[in-house]
Amino acid sequence: MMNRRQFVCTATSAAAFVRIPDVLAATTKYDLIIKGGRVIDPSRKLDATRDVGIAQGRIAAIAANISGDAAETIDAHGKLVVPGLIDIHTHAARAKEGPELCLADGVTGFIDAGSQGADRIAETIAIAKSAPQQGRVLINIGRAGILPEGDTMDLNRADVAAAREAIGRNRDMIVGIKARLSRDVAGANDFEVLRRAQEVATPFNIPVMIHMGQTVSPLPKLLALLKSGDVVTHMFAPPPNSIIDDAGHILPEVMAARRRGVRFDLGNGRSGHLRWDIADQVMKAGFLPDTFSTDWTPEGRAAGVINFENVMSKFLMLGMPLDQVIACATVNASRAFPVFRDRGTLKVGAPADVAVIELREGTFEFVDNYEGKRSGRQRLFPSATVLAGKRVATRA
């Protein structure tokens, strides 16, 4: 597998990347220009008022004033223009309308994280495949997927052969394995379930995402099984077995896991995953998330999660700078799965996936997963989405 540096070199030398700006220099014709927005692209450390010119589905120019012809213009004055958002833990492929709903929120790439296991993975794959944006899935190590009684409470459901067989048949769509490890999901089987998830992953060299928090096993015992590139979601889950000790210090095993390349992800969700006091302590300890994700479901749209922008806004409230908030939802997320390697950026030549977002000032209420309410002074709202260079119809 290519690392990021190799990929960038290879891609830059490819004819498609070099040719497009030349053609444009001759004709100055764009399919779409996003005018006058505050362009924040953490991949290039850019934060400035710019026009974004798009042609042939790719970013063709970023400049203070682009004057050429365009078939369509988006007026982004007073708005943020950022790379299309990438949500690495959603359940968007659980329902047919899921991908389009989050696309309208600016989510131009998603990972359905473990909605289904080997038995019914074809259902989530079919939805991800028909999604307008890039959608991929993680296979739940529990072969029956998410179950009210607990995915792997019956250890026989953590079926290595069945999961491997499903991945083998769908190498292009299954990009990792999800292991949900809370006591109400895996009970005392957590360690063995994770061991089996890694056994599935090994021959394919793909990541495992663990759902941490309220596990039977101590977190350090589980982290010991994680390799570089694996993802820990629900990083702000309260005890038992959170990432901090009683004194608010990040566990040394958590620090060590990050050093060896394990990623730590938000996974907002609706219950058991996010509590304000834990988030305060973790942020205060300087252990910022690598990525944000919503753990979004169609039901979550009504309360708690709402949309990716609402989830991002919670971290503005918690004191994270805006460019870092954007980075967690774009460039950082693009590094978590190879399918997104050329996304999460607005550099010239990149696929033109763009989110136009409004940053409103006022008083906004945010909730954690424990009915804790907090109010913040800023909130992000989706305004327009561009996917592969085309404006997506806005949601009613």
Question: How many Å apart are CA 135 and CA 369, to the nearest integer?
Answer: 26
Residues 231-260 that bind Zn ion (CB under 5 A): none
Work out how close the CB of 217 gets to Zn ion at its nearest, in angstroms, rounded to a whole number.
20
* Window of 56-64, 159-167, 295-303, 350-358 that interacts with Zn ion by CB under 5 A: 295-303
Is 276 exposed, middle or buried (CB count within 10 Å of its CB: 0-12, 13-18, 19+)?
Answer: buried
41 or 295: CB nearest Zn ion:
295
Question: Which is nearer to Zn ion, 233 or 334 (by Cβ)?
Answer: 233
Nearer to Zn ion, 95 or 250 (CB): 95
User: At what angle are helices 160-169 and 190-201 packed, to 10 degrees?
Assistant: 30
Starting at the edge strand that comes first in sequence, how are the strands of the sheet with 107-117 ordered?
85-90, 107-117, 134-140, 174-180, 208-211, 231-233, 263-265
As measured in angstroms, the least distance from the Cβ of 30 to Zn ion is 39
In this chain, which residue has its C-beta nearest to Zn ion? 295
CB of 341 to Zn ion, least distance (A): 23
295 or 353: CB nearest Zn ion: 295
Stretch touching Zn ion by CB under 5 A, among 75-83, 192-200, 288-296, 334-342:
288-296
The region of 27-35, 220-228, 287-295, 330-338 touching Zn ion under the rule CB under 5 A is 287-295
Identify the helix (H) or strand (E) that includes residue 37: strand 29-41
Strand runs labelled E in 42-173: 46-55, 58-63, 69-75, 80-83, 85-90, 107-117, 134-140
Cα 253 → chain centroid:
24
Q: Which stretch, 4-12, 256-264, 289-297, 386-394, contacts Zn ion (CB under 5 A)?
A: 289-297
H helix count then E strand count, the chain: 12, 15
Distance of CA 105 to the CA centre of its chain: 13
Please say which residue, 295 or 309, places its beta carbon nearer to Zn ion.
295
Q: Which is nearer to Zn ion, 295 or 342 (CB)?
A: 295
Among 31, 295, 309, 368, binds Zn ion (CB under 5 A): 295
- One-letter amino acid identity for 144? A
Q: Return the exposure string of 120-159: e unless at least 16 CB atoms fall within 10 Å of the residue's CB, then b.
A: ebebbbebbeebebbbbbbbbbbbbbbbeebbbbeeebbb
Among the residue ranges 160-168, 217-225, 250-258, 290-298, the one whose residues contact Zn ion (CB under 5 A)? 290-298
If the CB atoms of residues 190 and 295 are measured against Zn ion, the closer one turns out to be 295
**Binding footprint of Zn ion, residue count (CB under 5 A):** 1
Q: Least distance (Å) from Zn ion to the CB of residue 296?
A: 9
Cβ of residue 283: shortest distance to Zn ion, in angstroms? 22
Residue position matching structure tokens 């620090």: 255
Assess 265 for contact with Zn ion (CB under 5 A).
no
Q: List the end-to-end C-alpha distance of the chain, in Å, as a whole number.
A: 42
Alpha-carbon distances, residue 79 vs 50, 85, 183, 353, 364 (angstroms): 11, 15, 43, 16, 18
Region near Zn ion per CB under 5 A, out of 68-76, 147-155, 294-302, 374-382: 294-302
**Nearer to Zn ion among residue 212 and residue 346 (C-beta):** 212
Binding residues vs Zn ion (CB under 5 A): 295
